[in-house]
Structure 1
Amino acid sequence: MRPSDGESGRARIGATNSGWAKVAAPNFAAPNICHVRQSRCTPRAGRAKLLIRTQRDQRLVKGRGAMPSAYIRRRQLAVELRKIRDERDLTVDGLARLIHQSPSKITRLENGQMRPDLHDILNMLETLDITGRQHDKVFQLAREAAEKGWWDRYGMSMGPRQKLAADLEHSAETIRSYDQTAMPGVLQSPEFITALIELDRCQGKIDYDPARMADARANRQRELLRPDGPSYEAVLDECVIHRLAVPPEAMATQLRRLTTAVSAEGRITVRILPHDARIEGGFLPKSSFHIYTFADPTDPAVVVVDGVTTDLVLTQRKEVARYTGMYDRLREAALSPGDSIAFLDRVADRLTEQAGSET
């Protein structure tokens, strides 16, 4: 993994106790949610229990689908932490000595590369005398950045790319993808996943556990289909169907999986981009990409661009707008949803006949 490029909006995938503590005062307008206040009486252990309870109660009130993306919050927290350090004219080493943490840990936090420890963040805010709205903003970001989703129990066994996708999908309101080299990961059939794993083995050692990866992908599909799940639209390049070297029966099963998902759920749309389609208005895309938008207006839209060895994450408005415009052009050139389903059915039937003739 490479550090994020700071405020450019790009990233790549791959204590001491000062005597201050936090106690909660109830918010009567929203039962079970606690607001943070300063005090000198609550020990660190009690503070930890309070934070955990506050997070749990917040989820109960907001609802499961409203959980913000921990990945996005880590990036937003990183910006705020760098801002605080710069305002106090501190180097990374200077801040590390002041709060009794390692410089490498400060760097990872400021690059959004690690889940924050809430005790460490509180210690930093107290040591640097951060109060008022700035304190509340940073603490809220840290609390949400520290949240864990179902994907975290897999560790890295599901693969780092899929782990990021699961995080963004869970919190997204809309997902749009252009799939130039693979089938939409969130709509893959078990047979197709097995065939992909075998293809991946041909390229060398894999960095995930196949069974755990497949199980996590099935979990992503269940999440997509939950009642409060996001809307999902994919533009699938026809070349994927013909060029990906999986067995014909596995591809036929996958195509029927797509048509079944689209027919059963109105929030899911798949459009086929024919290999001879003319794409007006600009250059052609150089790789697959995915666009995520979120219900919270403070959350930026996110574009994840596929690479051979790592993915590029973009949040800058101009870059996101460029990919959104490209997606709109691809969508315009693709078949309608109805024609796309008919196309997939025809190809699936032909592949099934081909598989039968080969046996």
Structure 2
Amino acid sequence: MTNEQAATLRAQWIGQQLRAMREGARLTLKDVGDFINRNASTVSRMESGIIPPRVPEVLAYLDLCGVDDPRRRDDLKTMAQDAWQKGWWDGFSANVAGSLIDWIWLESRATEIRSFQASVIPGLLQTRAYAEALIRAWDDAATDEEVARYVEVRMQRQRRLEQPDPVRFSTVIDEGALRRVVGGPEVMRAQLAQLRTVASWSNVEVMILPASAGAHACPDGTFDVFRMRRPYAPTGCVSTAVGAVVVEGERADSLHQRYDRLRRAALRNGAVQRFLFDLEARLE
């Protein structure tokens, strides 16, 4: 269990906070270890995110470092609780959900997600058949059982859009992604119809970047930006062929700025509905 927790982004985040707090107080690893009844090696592993700290350990850190600001203490307590948070994803095996754990957790904590997609429809808006076709193309060695589990993870993620307090989801989809027929005409027709439906939801905004827009703000690929609940700052995830790169601070802000530029160049509202309906009608 500890090793699985060690890989999480949230464990690394709180570890960074603990280290900065200790160094700011000019304390050694041994100083902290003696105070919380841990050896220096264990304290180092907590600060590296290898061992997520428990709430009592975080509170002890705060006491030792002389941090008495109630807001700061509440923030770090929340981060410690999140480091051990369990969710629906725990029901899936590590090889199915493991690489997505950080992404899923960011979605669970976000109040708003902004997504630019250049080659596929966003995972949160995919139909089951479309998702299955993508996954089979992505991993042609996966068994039918593995594919079914991958698809189920994607379908579970979509519940975040329909919860009582749903996340706000805004996406700009490149026209090329919509013209790429995934899974055959029937699957693609159903996917386009699904997009038209969700585009009418109050918490979902679907936009299309037309080919006529020419060069645009993000020619290098796709990304998602998450506006997070306190105590977390905005976070971005840039998709690559070997996984997502997580960015924070100014780099996340730059993704928001790129998204704003893409949004200004995109079709919206009725123009999106007409575009999707026309594409759907042309499929044979």
The bucket for the TM-score relative to the shorter chain is 0.7 to 0.9
Q: What is the 5 A alignment of 1:23-172? A: 71-72=9-10, 74-86=11-23, 87-90=25-28, 99-101=37-39, 103=41, 106-112=43-49, 115-118=52-55, 121=58, 125=61, 129-130=64-65, 133=68, 136-137=73-74, 138-172=76-110
2:3 maps to which residue?
none
Alignment of 1:1-359 (within 5 A): 71-72=9-10, 74-86=11-23, 87-90=25-28, 99-101=37-39, 103=41, 106-112=43-49, 115-118=52-55, 121=58, 125=61, 129-130=64-65, 133=68, 136-137=73-74, 138-202=76-140, 209-243=146-180, 246-263=183-200, 265-279=201-215, 283-296=217-230, 298-316=231-249, 318-351=250-283, 353=284
Deviation at residue 153 of structure 1 after TM alignment: 3.1
- Asked whether the 8 Å contact 1:271–1:336 carries over to 2, the reply is yes
- CA distance in 1 between counterparts of 2:186 and 2:103 reads 27
Tell me by how many angstroms 1:119 deviates.
5.6
SS of the residue corresponding to residue 253 of structure 1 reads helix
Deviation at 1:185, TM superposition (A): 0.6
Aligned partner letter, 2:137: L
- 1:326 is aligned with what amino acid? R
Say if 1:151 and 1:167, in contact at 8 Å, map to a contact too. Answer: no
| Alpha-carbon offset, residue 309 of structure 1 | 0.5
The letter for the 1-side match of 2:113 is I
Deviations 1:139-186 (A, max 9, x none): 443133322222233252443443223212222111110001221111
CA distance 1:75–1:252, shift in 2 (3 Å): same
Larger of the two Rg values belongs to structure: 1
More helix by share: 2
What are the Cα deviations for residues 31-81 of structure 1, in whole angstroms up to 9, with x where unaligned?
xxxxxxxxxxxxxxxxxxxxxxxxxxxxxxxxxxxxxxx955x45422221
Distance 1:209 1:168, change over 3 A: same
Secondary structure at the residue paired with 2:211? coil
CA offsets, 1:259-301, max 9 Å, x none?
A: 12123x1211111111231356xx54311011111343x4211
Aligned length: 273
Q: Is the 8 A contact 1:233 1:270 kept in 2?
A: yes
How many Å apart are 1:117 and its aligned residue?
3.7
Cα contact 2:112–2:226 (8 A) shared by 1: yes
Q: Please give the secondary structure, in 2, of the residue aligned with 1:305.
A: strand
Q: Partner amino acid for 2:18? A: L
Query: Distance between the aligned counterparts of 1:107 and 1:329, measured in 2?
Result: 42
Q: Deviations over 1:312-339 (max 9, x none)?
A: 11111x2122111111111111112221
Assess if the C-alpha contact under 8 Å between 2:15 and 2:46 holds in 1. yes
Pick closer, same or farther for the CA change 1:84–1:333 going to 2, 3 Å.
Answer: closer
How far apart in 1 are the matches of 2:282 and 2:149?
32
Change (3 A) 1:187 1:131: same
Identity of aligned residues (%): 27
Rounded Cα–Cα distance in structure 2 between residues aligned with 1:102 and 1:224: 44
Partner amino acid, structure 2, of 1:214? V
Asked if 2 retains the 8 angstrom alpha-carbon contact of 1:234 and 1:270, the reply is yes
Question: Would the alpha carbon gap of residues 133 and 258 (structure 1) be closer, same or farther in structure 2, given more than 3 Å must change?
Answer: same
Contact 2:135/2:150 (8 A) holds in 1: no
Indicate the residue corresponding to 1:53 in structure 2.
none
Rate the CA distance shift 1:83–1:192 in 2: closer, same or farther, 3 A. Answer: same
Report if aligned partners of 2:15, 2:52 keep a CA contact under 8 Å in 1: no
Mapped to 2, the partners of 1:107 and 1:244 lie a distance apart of: 50
In structure 2, C-alpha distance between the alignment counterparts of 1:290 and 1:113, rounded to whole Å? 26
Q: Do the aligned partners of residues 257 and 106 (structure 1) sit closer, same or farther apart at CA in structure 2, a change above 3 Å counting?
A: farther
**Secondary structure of the structure 1 residue equivalent to 2:205:** strand
